[in-house]
A and B are shown apart, each in its own frame.
Chain A
Amino acid sequence: MDLKHLKDKYAIVGVGYTPQGKVPGRSALSFHVEACANAIKDAGVNKNDIDGLILYRDFKPLKGDISASVFKVAEQLGIRPFTLSQEADCTRTWLTHAIGLLEAKFCKYILVSYGDNGRSGGRKSVNELEGDTPTGEEAAFGDLSTLSKFGMLARRAMYEEGTGPEIWKKIAVAQRKWANLNPRASFYEKIMTYDDYLNSDYIVEPFRLFDATPVTDGGRAIIITSSERAKELANPLVFIKGIGSSNTSLTPNQLLHDDVISGAKIASEMAFKMAGIDRKDVDACQIYDCFTYTVEATLRDYGFFKPGESKAWFEQNDIGPGGNFPVNTSGGLLSEAYFMGLTQVSEAVMQLMGRCGDRQLGVHPKTKAPEIILCSDNGGVFQSHNTLILGRG
């Protein structure tokens, strides 16, 4: 697929934050609305010019809350967009849909949002348990939670490639160090050492507590428009240089090790080709990190190292603050907050805009101001994958 005609044609022009972490007394809807309103303000666009609204999936509403539907979000923002959509199940369609809508000139400004009140609302890490007694093949075997689905693939990677906790601890601790520089991060004030990681309990072995992303309250939103319109706005320019997408789609317990590799590999090759750049041109990565292993798997599948070479790669490269290969500079899903792929994308945008405070690349000691940042967004269990390459305009 040749996407070169789209290179640098579109831009991300605003980011909306909300209070995050543990924020009681709020509906999931209110986090969407606040994130969206703040993104509109940050971009400096008129709300009535937002003609596309795309939400990440809505989780099942928690007790006493309503569904955060895209109708409700539009209603509360007081907008009447040309198009509304919300990702079904856990696919990652927002990126290609947004670009398609802009390219076809259906829309001029697309708002993309995620919001949830799962931390205060007591959302379980086991979504099978949120409704009635779980039924289904998976429940019958006690295979509850996303932990076990990713854990199964991580275990196979240990067998195929010799990875394991000695590598995952480096990911967890490096991201925690980034979070320690980010006042918004859930774990801003909490240090984690390798011993803390190794001493944390196994939840679903091979995953320990610190291999998994905690549930958060809060929301995050971004605005995408054409690069031409972006030039009329106040924020520093951040262009979309490359996009790629691939959907493996197989039921998690049918996924083989090689299927895991294929989704991210196809999507990233598409994005690199569109951007006309190579891996060596990437200054930082924001990698979807629902689990530590997801980071390792994605970097491998993006071609930064070959299968079986992760141990050597993590010995030669430092992904933490001051390291040569910065990854997940906000703390990521693991240590900043869980806004699905918008945790990654918003951080990349803010880094390229130079708005990241103490953790800003180029400001933090021994780091370089970034020109190119590579992001990934993963849906389901390695079933849906987006790659996004952003560059300073």
Chain B
Amino acid sequence: MNSNIYPFSPLIYEDVKSFWNGCGQHLLKYEKCSSCGHIRWPASLICPKCHSRAYTLVESKGKGVIYSYVVFRKVFHPFLEEKVPYVVATVTLNEGPIILTNIVNCDIDKVYCGQDVEVKWHDLDDVSLPIFQPIIAE
């Protein structure tokens, strides 16, 4: 399947523009509260911890560990037919936020919670998706 015709894309609404704009440059950028240091993820107008509006954009180095994952075995949409089986996961980035992603370049039966992973990028026509692969020990 040509990934560029993959019909599903993130909805880039106002609050999450800075994140997806960063992805366009292959950077994982987050809003960090200037007042209390909390990373606002999902992004929001105010910090859910202290209600400050002020923030700075910080960049993740793109490494983290798998918090949890599932393996899609059933095809829920024709466009996913060639993709199954595939792994949907949440990854805890070393900088704190947990993001939804796919785990690729892996043996699906050997994915595990706590596995070290690093970002790589899946480029669609108008957006890049941060996906992750296991870090192979050298």
Known A143-B100, A155-B69, A253-B98: A204·B74 in contact at CB below 8 Å: yes
Give every chain B residue within 8 A of A145 (Cβ-Cβ): 76
Q: How far is the CA of A366 from the CA of B82 in the complex (A)?
A: 52
| Contacting pair B70 A140 (CB below 8 A) | no
10 additional contacts, CB 8 Å, given A135-B11, A155-B69?
A: A126-B76, A135-B9, A140-B129, A142-B80, A152-B68, A153-B68, A155-B113, A156-B113, A205-B70, A205-B85
Q: How far is the CB of A131 from chain B (nearest CB, A)?
A: 13
- A202: nearest chain-B partner, CB-CB: B73
Q: What mask results when residues 122 to 142 of chain A are scored 1 for a CB within 8 Å of chain B, else 0? A: 000010010001111111111
CA distance A317 to B99 in the complex (A): 38
Q: If A136-B10, A156-B113 touch, does A141 touch B129 (CB 8 Å cutoff)?
A: yes
Chain A residues within an 8 Å CB radius of B73: 201-205
A4, B100: Cα distance in complex, Å: 42
B70→A137 contact, CB < 8 A: no
B37 interface hit (Cβ, 8 Å): no
Complex-state Cα separation, A253 to B76, whole angstroms: 19
> Which of chain B's residues has its CB closest to A143's CB?
B88
Report if A152-B72 is in contact (Cβ < 8 Å); known contacts: A135-B11, A142-B8, A251-B42: no
The answer, yes or no, to whether A387 is at the interface (CB within 8 Å) is no
Contacts of A156 in B (CB 8 A): 67-68, 113
Question: Please, which residues of chain B bring their CB within 8 A of the CB of A133?
Answer: 7-8
- Give Cα A138 to B88, complex, Å: 9
Contact digits for B68-93, partner A, Cβ 8 Å, 1 yes 0 no: 11111110110010010110111000
Q: Is the CB of A159 within 8 A of B129?
A: no
CB distance from A124 to the nearest CB of B (A): 8
With a cutoff of 8 Å between Cβ atoms, the chain A residues found around residue B70 in the complex are 147-148, 151-152, 155, 204-207
Residue tally, chain B, CB below 8 Å to A: 36
B39 to chain A, nearest CB (A): 12
Determine how close the nearest CB of chain A comes to the CB of B104; give it in whole angstroms.
Answer: 11
Give 27 A-B contacts (CB < 8 Å), ordered by A residue: A129-B76, A129-B77, A136-B11, A137-B10, A137-B100, A138-B100, A139-B8, A140-B8, A140-B129, A144-B76, A147-B70, A148-B70, A148-B72, A148-B88, A152-B70, A152-B89, A155-B69, A156-B113, A201-B74, A202-B71, A202-B73, A205-B70, A207-B70, A251-B42, A253-B90, A253-B100, A254-B98
- Residues of A whose CB lies within 8 Å of any CB of B are 126, 129, 133-145, 147-148, 151-153, 155-156, 159, 201-207, 251, 253-254, 256
Q: How far is the CA of A137 from the CA of B99 in the complex (A)?
A: 10
- Set of chain B residues within 8 Å of A205, measured between Cβ atoms: 70-73, 85
Task: Report the bound CA distance from A156 to B90 in whole Å.
Answer: 10
Contact of B68 among A134, A142, A144, A155 (CB under 8 A): A155
- State in angstroms the CA–CA spacing of A136 and B11 once bound together: 4
The listed residue (B7, B77, B101, B113) touching A159 by CB distance below 8 A is B113
Closest chain B residue to A257 by CB distance?
B68
CA distance A199 to B6 in the complex (A): 32
B72 touches A204 (CB 8 A): yes
- Do A254 and B74 touch (CB < 8 A)? no
A155's nearest neighbour on chain B, judged by CB, is B68
CA distance A139 to B72 in the complex (A): 13
Bound complex: CA A205 to CA B102 (Å): 14
Residues of chain A with a CB closer than 8 A to B42's CB: 251, 254
**CB distance A141 to B100 under 8 Å?**
yes
Chain A residues near B112 (CB-CB < 8 A): 159
Q: A7 to B80, alpha carbons, bound, how many Å?
A: 52
* Bound CA span A135–B131, Å: 17
Q: Once the chains are docked, how many angstroms separate the CA of A204 from the CA of B8? A: 19
Highest count of chain B CB atoms <10 Å: which of A138, A140, A251, A254: A140
| A325–B22 CA distance with the chains assembled, in angstroms | 54
- Mask, B1-41, CB within 8 Å of A = 1, is 00000011111000010000000000000000000000001
Q: How far is the CA of A207 from the CA of B88 in the complex (A)?
A: 14
Interchain CB contact under 8 A, B88 and A141: yes
Please, which residues of chain B bring their CB within 8 A of the CB of A207?
Answer: 70
B71 smallest CB distance to A (angstroms): 4
The 4 nearest A-B residue pairs measured at CB: A139-B8, A159-B113, A205-B71, A156-B68
Minimum CB–CB distance from A261 to chain B (whole Å) comes to: 15
Query: Which residues of A are found within 8 Å of B131, using beta-carbon distances?
Result: 141
